[in-house]
């Protein structure tokens, strides 16, 4: 299921956005969980606590935290997610793209622009779902491309270490559970406690596997 957050302090605008989102998901046949928030601090708390969303629809000017501040927090903590700004303020458009927005939509063109842009984001996420592994741990939530995972090593009965090109992630999950979660034929078990990405294997002999 794709998770989407709508953050707008204006209740009428928030309802408009949610209506378009649900209509688009139904029309495009996507299973979607929508969380609507009138207080941007709720999203800030969710992100800091590791709650993951695939798509964020953000107003720009809000009390407490602006959409731009939330976008920077999303960039730092949420990996490969999509941000769409929905606002009445065209002057913030350049800054919106600087913080990684997929689209910047003016509210007077909401019904015209949002369905197509949202459908585009949903399609991209659907194509990526089987190519990413989502890691939840104490430091937050991350989407890691399968190709970046080098190996996964059992630490004990409850925890495993995921070794990637960028570093290591400790997750509360057994090797057996991770094997079931990985939706890819790219990983092989070299013993009961290690999974290796075959894309990183350079050579195999009777005693060892050589990988990056």
Q: Is the dihedral of CA 93, 89, 121, 73 positive or negative?
A: positive
Contact status, residue 205 vs residue 190, Cβ threshold 8 Å = no
Please, what is the average pLDDT of the chain?
83
**Mean per-residue pLDDT for 110-131?**
86
CA distance to 6, 64, 105, per residue, from 91 (Å): 21, 20, 12
Asked whether the predicted pLDDT for residue 16 surpasses 90, the reply is yes
Which of 42-51, 113-122, 138-147 has the weakest average pLDDT? Answer: 138-147
Is 208 a residue whose pLDDT tops 60?
no
190: Cβ contacts below 8 Å, ≥ 6 apart? 196, 209
Give the residue-averaged pLDDT of 191-205. 72
Q: Please count the other Cβ atoms lying within 10 Å of the Cβ belonging to residue 195.
A: 21
pTM over 0.75: no
List phi, psi (to 5°) of 147.
Answer: -65, -20
pLDDT in tens, 21-76: 999 999 999 889 999 999 999 999 998 887 888 899 999 989 999 888 998 888 88
């Amino acid at each position: 299921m794709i998770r989407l957050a709508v953050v707008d302090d204006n209740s009428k605008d928030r309802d408009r956005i949610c209506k378009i989102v649900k209509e688009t998901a139904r029309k495009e046949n996507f299973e979607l969980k929508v969380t609507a928030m009138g207080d941007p601090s709720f999203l800030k708390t969710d992100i800091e606590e590791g709650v993951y969303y695939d798509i964020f629809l953000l107003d720009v000017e809000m009390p407490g935290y602006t959409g731009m501040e939330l976008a920077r927090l999303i960039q730092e903590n949420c990996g490969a997610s999509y941000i769409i700004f929905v606002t009445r303020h065209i002057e913030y458009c350049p800054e919106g793209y600087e913080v990684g927005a997929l689209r910047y939509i003016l509210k007077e063109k909401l019904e015209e622009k949002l369905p197509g842009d949202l459908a585009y984001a949903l399609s991209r996420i659907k194509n990526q779902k089987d190519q990413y592994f989502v890691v939840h741990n104490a430091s937050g939530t991350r989407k890691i491309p399968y190709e970046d995972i080098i190996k996964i090593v059992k630490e004990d009965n409850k925890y495993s270490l995921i070794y990637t090109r960028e570093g290591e992630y400790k997750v509360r999950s057994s090797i057996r559970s991770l094997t079931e979660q990985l939706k890819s034929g790219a990983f092989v078990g070299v013993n009961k406690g290690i999974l290796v990405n075959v894309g990183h294997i350079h050579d195999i002999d009777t005693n060892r596997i050589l990988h990056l």
